[in-house]
A = this chain, B = another copy of it.
Amino acid sequence: MATTARQGPYFCGIDAAMDVVSGKWKVLILWELHHHGTRRFAELRRGLPGVSEKMLIQHLREMEEDGLVHREVYREVPPKVEYSLTEDGVALNTALAPLGDWGTERMRRTGAAKVR
């Protein structure tokens, strides 16, 4: 994904949505931003145990490019950057809700483990 292509011809809407959402941490970032509103880089990193800084940035950049998250840079001396969801990102999150319910139900049935 990422560097090249993207926006490639899609079969249907789900296909297009999956393109934007595929990436190990993307939906988790969405979820985190949705629940906390605005978060700084280090806050996100701490909120997603196991994520590498490289992937976090890469995903955030792609999601910014895709118009899902807004990136606000404060030119202060200890650098400060705040990430938040755009309208589009909020809509995506809403559209993901039923899928989340399905997954939760499935976890309950299969007894899958949960992190934190």
Interface residues of A (CB under 8 A from B): 7-18, 20-22, 27-28, 31, 48, 88, 91-92, 94-107, 110, 112-116
Contact = CB atoms under 8 A, between A and B. Distances in A.
A10 B48 CA distance: 11
A18 to B, nearest CB: 6
A102 B14 CA distance: 8
Contacts of A114: 9-12
Contacts of A101: 13, 95
B100 A12 contact: yes
Contacts of A112: 7-10, 16
Contacts of A115: 9-11
Given A18-B27, A94-B98, 6 more contacts: A11-B48, A12-B100, A13-B104, A14-B99, A16-B104, A99-B99
